[in-house]
Structures are given as C-alpha cells and as structure tokens.
A and B are shown apart, each in its own frame.
Chain A
C-alpha cells in the first residue's frame, strides 16, 4: 500500500480509520499535556512513569485475568502513580537527586514488569498474547472502544484544562506567588500530574512504554519554538502531536514490518528538528543569520568610524581621501565600502572616498554615544 492509497482508504476502511483516529487523538492529548511537562522541567518524569506502568499492566492481568484494555490501563495508572510518588519521596526525603530517582524507578519498575510478563508467558493456562504489545505498542490492535476511551479522556482533560487554565498557568510560572494568592498549589499540582500520567497510560497500547515519553515531549518542544504564548503553544503542540500520529500511522501502514510507535516518534522528531532550525524567532538558522548580520553591521560601523576619525581632521568633511589609506584598517573590504556607499554614508569616486553629510552625522552620533554606553 502506498501513502496515497492509505489516504484514500482511511475514510472507509474500519481498521485504518480506527488506528488513525486513535493515534491522532493520542498525539493531540500528549502534545497538549506534554507542554505542561516540558514547562515544569519534568520532561523525563514521563519516561519514568511510562516504564513504571508496565508492572501495573502485568499485575492487573495476573489478578483479573482480563485482557480488556480498560482494566489493564487502570493497573498501569495505579502503578504509574506509585512510581511518580515514590520518585518524589526519594528526592524529598533522601539526598539522592532527581536524576538518580528517575533512572532508578524507571529501570526497576520496568525490570519488575518484565519479570511478571515473562512469568505470565510461561503460565500454561494463561493466554497472554497481547501483553507484550505494551512494550513497543501496536496501533493495529486498537479497536473502536479504545479510541472512544481516548476521546472521552481527552475530552475530560480538555475540560479540566480549560476550567483550571488560569491556575495551571500561574502555578507553572510562579509557584510561591500562587500560594500567596490563596490557591491550593498541592491540589493544582496533583491535577496536572494526574492528567500527565493519564495521557501516558492512554498511549501505552499504541506507542509502548519505551517510546511513550517522546510522544509527550517532542510536539511540545517543537511548539515552544514557534510561539511565546502559552495557549498557542498548547494548541500547536496538540496539532503537531495529532499530525505525528496520522503521518506516523500512514507511513507505517504503507510499509511492511514497521511498528507504528517508532515511526510516530520519528515523525515527531522531524517536527522538532525542523522547528529547532527554522523557527523564525528562536531557530538556529535565523539566530546564526542575525548573528552574522550583527557582526557585519558592527564591522561596517567600525569602518565608518575610522573614516570619521580621518575626515574629522579636515574642515570640509566631504574632502576626498585615497582608498589605500584604509588598507591598514582591519575589517575593510571592497564589499563593505560598497555597502556603505549603497546606504548613502560615503561617496566613492575612482580611488577616492569621502564621507557624505549623512555618514558624518551618523559617525558623529556613534562617537558621542560610545562613552555613554560604556
């Protein structure tokens, strides 16, 4: 199947429509809530939570025997939350730093989850098929009820976010101040954390525990580059997330052997890379261009000032001087002279140059400003 075929089929084919809908909704909710994780400097918490969710899935299966994704996700939610609060417990009560706490919980919970999964696999009676999809995710296993669950959860998160928008923004920016205004910061914090954990758990079936955090971070990190407004950032992140979901699904559906999760991550990665380089305000490309322009402007102004110091000694400021006396001056080139002429600051006549009144004035202003700046 080619990508064109995919987009022709997507509206009619049940499976494709379900998968695409699921990944799009998932990308949107993750982008939205991931913005908060990124701004709270809790980017890596997502990684720890998604790994910590694995034993919850296995235990839920062991206890109930159900393969119903709702029950399994509930187990994931509980164990993800336990992991989150244990990380906080470690950092607040011991001298271990957050990086150690995150890495520790992440790897140990995951290991425990693997122990349980392999244990389940060896059970003779249990038909465990389907549990290992939570490692890398399998969008193909999504059914309509999964997508409906995603839409409901996304809807609820959206409502909660709109309701507490003001409080979220306040807490993200200035926690102490939020407290002095009489808001219960612990409560707001718990809502935000809970929503983030919820989004992660929701994505496990589709993307898997290993790559889940990237779906959370990448759209938000990309969106941050294009705007300086929180609401725009959240919306953009949701859009980037949804597009990553759709394109990722399209690409993986049109190729053999490609699981959806890694492809979605790579598409989101392309968004990030593009944003890092080409964002007009923060992007590396325009930053470099601005930097060079500033440097060449500075060079021009230095040349002009040098000319001023020569011209100053003559009564007539527009008295012509030979170009070669500039040769000793570092930073003078033919192009820079040309630029100065184009801006009407100097006049060039054969091998001679002269300051125009405008050029003299500008140089004089710079000269007077200089001591004030320093």
Chain B
C-alpha cells in the first residue's frame, strides 16, 4: 500500500464519518430525502462559487454552496406551505430544476469552469491526493483531507455541545419547545451542517453517492438499534467499513471508488436487512408466522372456553366455522395439544385445566385492553412456541 492509497482511504473514512452523523438525525426525523435535494441543489452554488474563487476547496465556495442548500430547504418548505402541490412533489420539483440550472451554467461557461458534470455526479476520490495544500512551499497533505477534517471536527463539536437538544427535538418537538430549545433553530442548524457536509464531500464522492453515505449507514444502524448513541456509533462503523472495503473493491475491479463504496453500503444494508435480529426481514417474517399461529391458538382456546356445545367443539368445526384451512387447523391443534392446553377425545376438543387457566387469564387481559400482558404469559404457559 503506497502513500496516495492510504490517503484516499483516510479521506474516504473521514467523509463517511462526517456524513454518517447528520445522517442519523435526518433518518430519524424522516427527512432523508432532504439530503438528496441538497446534494443536487448546491450545484449552482458551487458553480457560482467557482466563478468567484476558482478553487473547489475554497472555504468561500463551500459556504456559498452550503447556503444554497439551506435556500433549497427554505424553498421546499415554502412550496409545501402554499398547498399547491403535495409535500413530496415540492422536493421533487425544486432540486432537479436547481440542478439543471447548475448543469447549464457549467455548459455555458465550459471554457472558464473546469468542472466536469460527470465529476459532479461521481466525484473523483482517486485524484484527491494530488490536490495538495501547499503553504510556503511546504506540503501539508491533500486539501480535501483538510476540508473534510475541519468539517468533521465542527460536526463533532456541535454534536457534543447540542447532543441533548438534538435528541429531544428529534424525538419530541413539543417537549423541545417546552424546554426552551427552539425546534426551528435545531432544524436549520441540522440543515446547515448537512449542507456543509454535502458540499465538502461532493468534491470527493459526488452528488448522488454522498446521499448513500448519509442515508445508508443510518438506515442500516436503525435496523439494529433504537438507542441514539449506539445508532451513531454503528453508523460511523458501517460508513468507515464501507469506505475502506469499497476502496479495495474498486481497486481490484479498476472501477469508480465512490460507486464501489455505495455498492458496499448497499451490501451491508442488504445483509442487515435480511438478518437483523429483531427488525430484519427473516426475523420479521418468522415472528409474524409465530404470532399468527399463536393468535390463532388463543382465538381457538377462547372459542372452546365460550362454547359448551359439542358441535362447536368438534375438530371439523375448525375448518368449517372458523374458516381455517386444513394445514392451519392442524398446526393450531398440534400446538395446543403439545402444550397440554387441550385434550382431544373422540374428535371432540376440550380445554385441559391448564388450558382453562390460560384462557381465563388471557380473556381478562383482553377485556381490560391489556393485550401486551399476554406476551409474558405465553412464556409461562407454552413449552413450545408457534
């Protein structure tokens, strides 16, 4: 591993961390798509900034473009308030139009602006190490490392300072106002930080992949935990892991680094989406099946409890009356019998004493609207779960 390779990975990792932190809050506030809007809409800001400064890493350009991002948010919110179109349409209209303006500005000034539209979308991480920060002839390392490093430090400082306020205003806007933290200041503060991060990362990873770095780590982490602190740490972990893994995949395929990072993020999300312990697809499907059978079981037991007549307790009744297929009826019957909740005598089903006790108790909870108490009760009564 040579020096530029190492530098690329460090830059990628720093970008990943800087994106992951605001990403967590955007995902929790159901505003993920704002990052998409900002990442497109800052383009005219970058172009105008470039006219002025002639330097993509200039702080003035970054601030100007970030301001453009905040303007986008304001514009979207203004259109939403007019009720002329639905909220999502407002976002969908604003950013392509601003982006188009940016693209046309670049095209019309192709001779003055050495910006390539492809580079805008993709960024060029591979070139990042060659743009060095030189002060008095001394090489201080890649410029983008400094830019992103400073943005990351600002983000972390703000996060530490306003952690409590951010947390409260994310989960409970009403409480936040009552406690005197203005949700509006938090909102625009977060938007500003997101904009600055997007602009800074834009140069390295491009407009659309910065969205992947913001949303994907947070979304993946959210499938694993609901604890804010853990979620931030996990997002950072996923972001950094994808950045480094993605770099090497790109290296071996000789393909775009940022595309590769996004693909890695996608893979990690896919795996977590499938196998996350309680929120993953497999767990959810398994739990739904179990809950379905157990709900059916309780329904059946309650039915037995309510009906004395032999006719209602005949095995065939399950299929006819309760409207269950043969497989389902058999699963439910077997489960009830395995748990000693029922006994079957001559095709007539009756509750056992244990079954009776369980049923009476669940009934009590159901009537008093405390269904949630049935869940721990199942632990006590069931030897076998659905």
Binding site for B on A (CB under 8 A): 38, 41-44, 46-47, 51, 89-90, 93-97, 99-104, 106-119, 122, 132, 135-136, 210-211, 213-214, 217-218, 221, 224-225, 255, 257-259, 261-263, 265-266, 269, 272, 276, 282, 284
Contacts and interface: CB of A to CB of B under 8 A. Distances in A.
Contacts of B212: 104, 107-108, 110-111
Contacts of A112: 259, 262-263, 266
B110 interface: yes
Contact of B100 (A46, A47, A266, A282): A266
Contact of B97 (A102, A224, A265): A265
Given A106-B211, A108-B262, A262 B104 contact: yes
Nearest to B89: A43
A118 B36 contact: no
A38 B110 CA distance: 36
B108 A258 contact: yes
A58 to B, nearest CB: 10
B121 interface: yes
**Interface bracket on B:** 35 or more
A107 B92 contact: no
A100 B92 contact: no
Contacts of B258: 111, 114
B32 interface: yes
Interface string B64-102: 000000000000000100101110110111001101110
B166 to A, nearest CB: 18
B30 interface: yes
Contacts of B35: 103
B219 A100 contact: yes
A127 to B, nearest CB: 17
B contacts with A: majority SS: helix
Contacts of B27: 96, 100
B262 A107 contact: yes
A104 B103 contact: no
Given A108-B263, A108-B265, A257-B110, A38 B89 contact: yes
Contact of B88 (A44, A95, A262): A44
B33 A111 contact: no
Contact of B89 (A89, A113, A217): A217
Contacts of B216: 104, 107-108
A122 to B, nearest CB: 5
A262 B263 contact: no
A119 B254 contact: yes
Across the A-B interface, the 10 shortest Cβ-Cβ residue pairs:
A111-B262, A114-B259, A214-B96, A107-B212, A115-B259, A108-B266, A262-B100, A118-B256, A119-B255, A107-B211
A180 to B, nearest CB: 19
A111 B261 contact: yes
B255 A118 contact: yes
B271 to A, nearest CB: 13
A269 B99 contact: no
B107 A104 contact: no
Given A257-B107, A258-B107, A265-B97, A115 B32 contact: no
A237 to B, nearest CB: 12
Contact of B82 (A47, A224, A262, A284): A284
Given A107-B216, A122-B254, A262-B103, A102 B32 contact: yes
Contact of B222 (A38, A96, A136, A269): A96
A111 B96 contact: no
A90 B280 CA distance: 10
B348 interface: no
B84 A282 contact: yes
Contacts of A101: 219
Given A110-B209, A111-B258, A96 B93 contact: no
29 contacts: A47-B36, A90-B273, A93-B284, A99-B32, A104-B215, A104-B219, A107-B211, A110-B212, A111-B261, A112-B263, A115-B256, A115-B259, A115-B262, A116-B259, A118-B259, A135-B121, A136-B117, A214-B92, A214-B97, A214-B100, A221-B89, A221-B93, A257-B107, A257-B110, A262-B99, A263-B104, A269-B93, A276-B82, A284-B84
B283 to A, nearest CB: 10
A93 to B, nearest CB: 5
Given A94-B284, A262-B100, 12 more contacts: A99-B31, A100-B218, A102-B33, A114-B262, A135-B121, A210-B40, A213-B96, A214-B96, A217-B92, A258-B108, A276-B79, A284-B82
Nearest to B264: A111
A94 B30 contact: no
Nearest to A51: B208
Contacts of A113: 259
Nearest to B222: A96
Contact of B208 (A96, A210, A258, A276): A210
Nearest to A273: B97
B268 to A, nearest CB: 10
Contacts of B284: 93-94
